[in-house]
Amino acid sequence: MKPDIEELRKKYIENPPEGMTSEDIRHMSEDDLLDMDYFLNEDDPFDDLFGEEGFYIF
């Protein structure tokens, strides 16, 4: 595993997100771990800025 992945895995094993256990984290693939980290640390996952600016179709 890459060193960054090891650090992430250790971080989430020591303090798993709500609804997960450290055992779940141990068995996650690298891609799943990176996806989980991305979504847990994204500013606002539901803010897609739709209609804020740009092209409009009426």
For 7-36, write each residue's pLDDT tens digit: 999 999 999 999 999 999 999 999 999 999
**pLDDT at res. 49:** 59
**pLDDT at res. 48:** 59
Indicate left, alpha or beta for 57 from its phi (over 0: left) and psi (-120 to 50: alpha): beta
Model confidence at 41, pLDDT cuts 50, 70, 90, reads confident
CB atoms closer than 10 angstroms to residue 42: 10
How far, in Å, CA of 4 to CA of 34, rounded?
A: 10
SS3 of residue 3 by DSSP: helix
Report if pTM > 0.75.
no
